[in-house]
Amino acid sequence: MSLCGKLVSELPINASAEKCYKIFKDNCKHMPNITPKFIQQVDVHDGDWDTHGHGSIKIWNYFADGKPEVLKEQVEYDDAKLKITLRGIEGSPFRDYKFFKPIFQYVPKSDNPNHCLAILTIEYEKLNDSSPYPYKYIEIMNGITKDMESNPSF
């Protein structure tokens, strides 16, 4: 059995790809207000908010299966692909995974610029065969994306 894997979820969103991307890139510190049932706090550990954070290290406090968890990550932005990659460094997911990388990508719909497809991916390597698949984390990513869509700022 392979310990490495990838989970992918695709969600159609009633918002532009650029708006979704900019929430992560320019307004990440507001995520606790946008999606409070999932994200409680986001802090910059290294870097700053003002330079759009490429390469910065952030600490996310969130709920997974109703329990508080923490992820320390280094963020990468790909402006051309409207893609945000969170390279996990340490935190709760590393109880089960050697490698943990959530990716949010927003693809514009050619027929309607005010809609997009959110492609949510988690690349991971389990510590061992008994480690769970990261379904709870892809559910959080889905929930965050739905909350962003329903946020009045869209």
Token pair for residue 92? 């709760």
| CATH code of the domain occupying 4-150 | 3.30.530.20
* All structural domains of the chain with their residue ranges: 4-150
The predicted pLDDT at position 1 comes to: 56
Task: Note whether 148 and 23 are within 8 A (CB).
Answer: yes
The pLDDT of residue 112 is 86
| SS3 of residue 92 by DSSP | helix
Partners of 39 in the β-ladder: 62
Q: Which residues of the chain have pLDDT under 50?
A: none
**Helix/strand/coil percent split, the chain, to 5:** 25, 50, 25
Q: What local confidence, expressed as pLDDT, does residue 69 receive?
A: 98
Q: Which two tokens stand for residue 129?
A: 């065969």
Answer whether 3's CB lies under 8 Å from 128's CB: yes
d(CA 91, CA 72): 6
Query: Model-level pTM?
Result: 0.92
Pairwise CA distance, residues 75 & 58, whole Å: 8
